[in-house]
C-alpha cells in the first residue's frame, strides 16, 4: 500500500486582486522510504502544496479540496482537532523554508525539540528533553545546545535542531520546504548527508521541495516538476536527469551547469505565469518552443509514458 496518495488536491487563495490558484489539481503517490523531490520556479506553488498536505491554511483560503490518503486514512475528512491530535507531527512533520525563524526566540532549543513528545505522546518533560538531547547528538550537535536559546546557534545548527524537531516523533512522512536555501554550500552538503543517512537508517519518507535541482539529485527517488500550480511531470530520479520528457523540465535541466561535461547553458524565456489568471490551455505554452495549436486551447491530461507527463506531445 502506498504511504501517501494525493488526488486532485486544490488550494486557492482569495486576494484583493483575485483568486490565486496556488495548487490546481495535483495528484501523486509516494511509497514508504521514498523521497519525492518537487522542483519548480519561485511562485509555482510548491510551498503552497506542502502547506496543503499538512493543512496549514491561511485566513484567506478560497478552495481546499481533494483527497489525501495517508496509510489508508483519509486526511481531508478529519476535523481540525482530530487532525491536530493524530496527524500533526505524529504522522507528518515539516521543516520550513527559512527555518532560521522557525524557533521561538524565548524558549530553549531542547524544549522546543521535545515539545511534540510532551504534547502528543504525553511524555514527561524531563524524559522528553533527554530524548531531544540524544537526537541532537545523533545529528551532530553537542547536547548542551538543548539548554541554549535559538539566538545562540548558528544557521546550520538551527537547521539541524529544526530537523531534530521534525524527527523526534518518528513521523511517517517529513516534508522539507527549501531546508538548505539559506545556508552556505558546505553546511548544505552536511545537511544533505545527514538526510541521506536518515533515509537509509530509518527508511524515512521525505517530500523535498526546492528550486535548486542540483540539490535533489543526491536524495530523490522520484522528482516532480511543478509549474503554475500543477505537476507537469513525475519521473524516477535517473530518468528525470537523463531523459526528461516535459519541455519545461528539459529546459530546467539545460539551465543547470554540470561539473564534468561541456554544456551550453540555456535560460527559459518569458516570466513565470500569473496564478490568478493563468494562460489558457497548457499553462506553459507561451514559453514553450514546442507549442502546438492544441496547447493554446486545451489543458493536457496526464499521460503515462513510462512515467507521468502532462503534455500534448505525448498524446
Partner 1 sequence: MSVSEYTLKGIFKELMRYKSALVGLAILVFLVALSLYALIFTPYAQAGEIWNDQNRWLAYPRNAAPEWYNFFSSKKLPPSILIGEGLPNHKSEEAEREGHRVITYLDSFTYNYDDFPSELVLLINTTYSGSPPTVKVYWVKPSGEELNLSVYRPRNISESIYISNNLILERDLEEYAIDKLGFTPNYTITIPVALFMEYKGEPTVMKGNYTVRIEVTLYNRSDTFSYRLLMHGKVYGIAGTDIYRRPLEIGLIWGAPIALSFGIVASVTITFANLILAAISGYYGGKIDSLIQRLTEIYMIIPFVPFIVTISILYGLDIWRLLLIVIILSILGTPVKTYRVWVMQLKTSPYVEAAIAYGASNLRIIALYILPRILPPVVPSLVLSIPSYVFLEAALAILGLSDPKVVSWGRIIEESFAGGAVYKGYYHWVLIPSAMLILTAISFALIGLALDRIVNPRLREM
Partner 2 sequence: MRIPPLAKVLIKRAFVLFLMVIIVTYLTILIANAGGYVDEIIISDIKFNVAQRVSANPLYKGLSIEERNKLIERLVEDEIRLRGLDKPFPIRSLIYLWNGLTLDLGRSMYLTSDTGSRSVKLIILERLPQTILLFTTATVIIFLIGLFGGLYLSRNFGSFLDKLTIYLSPTSAIPGWFYGILLILIFYSYLHVLPPGGMVDYPPPEEPVAYFLSVLKHMILPVAAWVISSFFIEIYYNRSFFLTYSTEDYVEAAKAKGVPPSQIERRYILRPALPPIVTSFAFAVVLSWSGAIITETVFNWPGLGRTLAMAIGFFDVPVIVGITVVFAYLIAATTFILEIIYGIIDPRIRAGVEGI
185-202 helix and 155-167 helix, angle to the nearest 10 degrees = 20
Q: Considering beta carbons, is residue 16 or 264 the nearer one to partner 1?
A: 16
Please give the Cα distance from 224 to 313 (Å, whole number). 18
Strand 230-236 versus strand 303-304 pairing type:
unpaired
Q: Does position 48 bind partner 2 by CB under 8 A?
A: no
Exposure string over 66-86, b if 16+ CB within 10 A, otherwise e: bebbbeeeebbebeeeebeee
Please give the Cα distance from 132 to 289 (Å, whole number). 52
Q: Considering beta carbons, is residue 104 or 255 the nearer one to partner 2?
A: 104
Please give the Cα distance from 208 to 34 (Å, whole number). 11
Total of residues contacting partner 1 (CB under 8 A)? 5
Please give the Cα distance from 164 to 110 (Å, whole number). 10
Distance from chain centroid for Cα 272: 19
- Interface residue with partner 2 among 13, 20, 30, 88 (CB under 8 A) is 88
- Interface residue with partner 1 among 8, 31, 56, 60 (CB under 8 A) is 60
Task: Choose from partner 2, partner 1, none: what does 56 bind? Cβ within 5-8 Å by kind.
Answer: partner 2
- Interface residue with partner 2 among 15, 65, 74, 107 (CB under 8 A) is 107
- Interface residue with partner 2 among 90, 138, 211, 254 (CB under 8 A) is 90
Q: Does position 15 bind partner 1 by CB under 8 A?
A: yes
Q: How far is the CB of 29 from partner 1 (least distance, A)?
A: 33
Q: Considering beta carbons, is residue 10 or 120 the nearer one to partner 2?
A: 120
Q: How far is the CB of 81 from partner 2 (least distance, A)?
A: 9
Please give the Cα distance from 246 to 11 (Å, whole number). 24
Q: 151-210: which residues touch partner 2 (CB under 8 A)?
A: 151-152, 162, 165
Q: Does position 59 bind partner 1 by CB under 8 A?
A: yes
Amino acid at each position: 500500500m502506498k504511504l501517501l496518495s494525493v488526488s486532485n488536491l486544490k488550494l486557492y487563495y482569495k486576494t484583493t486582486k483575485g483568486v490565486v490558484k496556488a495548487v490546481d489539481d495535483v495528484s501523486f503517490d509516494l511509497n514508504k522510504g521514498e523521497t519525492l523531490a518537487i522542483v519548480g520556479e519561485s511562485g509555482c506553488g510548491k510551498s503552497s502544496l506542502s502547506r496543503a498536505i499538512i493543512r496549514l491554511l491561511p485566513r484567506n483560503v478560497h478552495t481546499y479540496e481533494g483527497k489525501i490518503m495517508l496509510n489508508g486514512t483519509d486526511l481531508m475528512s478529519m476535523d481540525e482537532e482530530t487532525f491536530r491530535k493524530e496527524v500533526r507531527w505524529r504522522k507528518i512533520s515539516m521543516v520550513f523554508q527559512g527555518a532560521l525563524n522557525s524557533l521561538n526566540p524565548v524558549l530553549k532549543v531542547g524544549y522546543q525539540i521535545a515539545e511534540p513528545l510532551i504534547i502528543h505522546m504525553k511524555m514527561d518533560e524531563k524524559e522528553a528533553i533527554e530524548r531531544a538531547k540524544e537526537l541532537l547528538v545523533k545529528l551532530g550537535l553537542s547536547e548542551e545546545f538543548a539548554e541554549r536559546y535559538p539566538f545562540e546557534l548558528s544557521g546550520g545548527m538551527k537547521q539541524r535542531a529544526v530537523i531534530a524537531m521534525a524527527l523526534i516523533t518518528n513521523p511517517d512522512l517529513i516534508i522539507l520546504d527549501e531546508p538548505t536555501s539559506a545556508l552556505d554550500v558546505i553546511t548544505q552538503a552536511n545537511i544533505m548527508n545527514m538526510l541521506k543517512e536518515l533515509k537509509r537508517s530509518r527508511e524515512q519518507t521525505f517530500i523535498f521541495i526546492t528550486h535548486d535541482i542540483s540539490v535533489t539529485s543526491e536524495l530523490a527517488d522520484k522528482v516532480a516538476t511543478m509549474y503554475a500550480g500543477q505537476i507537469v511531470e513525475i519521473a524516477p530520479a535517473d530518468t528525470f536527469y537523463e531523459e526528461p520528457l516535459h519541455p519545461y523540465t528539459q529546459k530546467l535541466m539545460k539551465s543547470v551547469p554540470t561539473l564534468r561535461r561541456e554544456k551550453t547553458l540555456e535560460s527559459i524565456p518569458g516570466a513565470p505565469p500569473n496564478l490568478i489568471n493563468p494562460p489558457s490551455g497548457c499553462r506553459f505554452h507561451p514559453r514553450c518552443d514546442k507549442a502546438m495549436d492544441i496547447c493554446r486551447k486545451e489543458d493536457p491530461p496526464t499521460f503515462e509514458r513510462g512515467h507521468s507527463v502532462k503534455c500534448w506531445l505525448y498524446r
